[in-house]
Amino acid sequence: MSVLFCRIPDFLLALPLRRTPALARMPLGLVGEDERIEAASSLAQEVGVRVGMHARQARAHCPDLLLRPLDSRESEGEQQAFLAQMARWELPVEVHGWGAAWLDLHSVTTRRGDVCSLATELGRRVRATLGADRQPALGWDSSKFTSRAAAHVAAAGTMRMVGKTEESSFLSPLPVALLPLPPEALEQLHWLGIRTLGQYGALPTTAVWQRYGQVGKLAQRWAQGKDNRPVCGDARALPAPVMCDLEPPSDQLGRVLAELMMALRAPLQSLSAQLTGVRRLHVTLHFVAAGARMLDITFITPAGQPERVQAALAQQLHALIWPGEVERIETSVREVGELVAGQLSLFAGGLDDTPSEGDGINPPLAALAHRWTGRYGRVFYCGQICDARHPVPERVFRLQPV
């Protein structure tokens, strides 16, 4: 195979920075409709702001964080312009996220020199279409995961090429967080001291299977450079539509949401086992003697966790005008994609939950510390901001036992 991965760093941030260049000197975060961070500037990431965090959590990490709403319509227009340039050669293209996609070159060439020429032309077209501030970073290899990892380490405006014989040595020192594993699995690996792809790839296969199942086994093969997945384009197999009937009374949002999640349980599990998530979900609600209402939910990044899908469904159902009781539900996954690698944090959940009154410590963090205190003693501390603008760093926050 011959796979070229193209990504445009800070794709979503380029639009607000183009309109207001002064924002480049400030920590900036773009917030989606679900109040979660969809993009964060380097200044924001330096103080712990991560994509996927709730806005409250991001504010706790960075009190000076500027939050701006994500312009989905404008961003989608830029995305389509980017994909149009990727598709000009009429070769298979698979989208990985905003400003990121694979291009299958195996039917054209597998030679480094030819690939370099094609990549140079692609970069020139992307800059001409999207602007000089959209410098693409390119990665090339014989597999999808390694080409994506290569583009991850390449600077904007450059390309990293990895040959088949170089894959193992190239991947070994890279962070394990490049794998799109669930946050819980990344947290466990962090606690076990597994920080690189080489360390994860060297673990006993049986142990990985027992702890992480099919997902962990598949991710380990990627970490070892063994990824034979083709660039799927639009031909990716989708789960079969699911239909279920509801017994009355069925005019309560909680019950309808529970039935929806039960219907989606099997499709989500099947997708997650392949490190794949839902990109677009279509739901039809049939009401008693009142016709049907349709919901079309698009996720900015593929959703593999049921909690994220449930939150999106709950938001749509809250905004829906209910003409009566629901008698039947139809759900279908219209588009899927590879899960985007998460950013590792020590404690899953973090400040995303409501703090308990009085002590300022969130319940999940306190419960986690209590569970480990018996093994490690009282060595867990939580930072509490005292004066965020104090010029002396030691006065900005203090540590207190959890």
Say which residue, 348 or 80, is predicted with more confidence: 80
Give the type of residue at 101.
Answer: A
Q: How confident is the model at residue 160, as a pLDDT?
A: 92
Cross-sheet strand order for the sheet of 100-104? 93-97, 100-104, 3-7, 137-141, 159-161
96: its two tokens: 């990985």
Q: Which residue has the tokens 């599990």?
A: 269
- The 10s digit of each residue's pLDDT in 260-309 is 888 888 888 888 877 888 888 888 888 887 788 888 888 867 887 888 88
Cross-sheet strand order for the sheet of 37-40? 37-40, 28-31, 66-69
Q: What is residue 215's three-state secondary structure?
A: helix
The mean pLDDT value for 186-190 works out to 85
pTM of the complete model: 0.71
Residue 343 has pLDDT above 50, yes or no: no
Which DSSP state fits 297? E
The mean pLDDT value for 226-231 works out to 85
- The 10s digit of each residue's pLDDT in 359-394 is 444 555 566 666 555 555 666 666 677 777 777 766
Sequence-distant contacts of 171-175: CB under 8 A, at least 24 apart: 171/146, 171/197, 171/198, 171/201, 171/223, 171/224, 171/225, 172/196, 172/197, 172/198, 172/201, 173/197, 173/198, 174/149, 175/344
Residue 227 has pLDDT above 90, yes or no: no
Average pLDDT of the chain? Answer: 81
The mean pLDDT value for 7-31 works out to 88
Close Cβ partners of 323 (under 8 Å, ≥ 6 residues apart): 287, 290, 291, 293
Q: What percent of the chain has pLDDT over 90?
A: 11
- The 10s digit of each residue's pLDDT in 137-163 is 999 998 899 999 999 989 888 999 998
44: its two tokens: 């924001």
The least confident of 9-13, 200-204, 276-280 is 276-280
Residue 314 has pLDDT above 70, yes or no: yes
Say which residue, 110 or 148, is predicted with more confidence: 148
The mean pLDDT value for 166-194 works out to 87
Close Cβ partners of 77 (under 8 Å, ≥ 6 residues apart): none
The mean pLDDT value for 31-36 works out to 82
Q: How far apart are CA 272 and CA 263, in angstroms?
A: 15
Domains in the chain, start-ordered, CATH in brackets? 3-168 (3.40.1170.60), 172-223 (1.10.150), 242-338 (3.30.1490.100), 353-401 (no CATH)
Burial class (CB in 10 A: 0-12, 13-18, 19+), 57: buried
Q: How confident is the model at residue 393, as a pLDDT?
A: 66
402: its two tokens: 């959890």
The least confident of 185-199, 203-217, 290-304 is 290-304
- Please report which confidence band the pLDDT of residue 350 belongs to, taking 50, 70 and 90 as the band edges: very low
- Please report which confidence band the pLDDT of residue 236 belongs to, taking 50, 70 and 90 as the band edges: low
- The 10s digit of each residue's pLDDT in 36-72 is 888 888 888 887 788 878 888 888 888 888 999 988 8
The mean pLDDT value for 219-243 works out to 80
- Please report which confidence band the pLDDT of residue 188 belongs to, taking 50, 70 and 90 as the band edges: confident
Q: How confident is the model at residue 360, as a pLDDT?
A: 46
Q: How confident is the model at residue 355, as a pLDDT?
A: 39
Which DSSP state fits 48? T
- Please report which confidence band the pLDDT of residue 253 belongs to, taking 50, 70 and 90 as the band edges: confident
Q: How confident is the model at residue 367, as a pLDDT?
A: 62
Per the CB < 8 A criterion, the answer to whether 3 and 32 are in contact is no
- Please report which confidence band the pLDDT of residue 353 belongs to, taking 50, 70 and 90 as the band edges: very low
Q: How far apart are CA 90 and CA 118, in angstroms?
A: 13
Residue 4 has pLDDT above 90, yes or no: yes
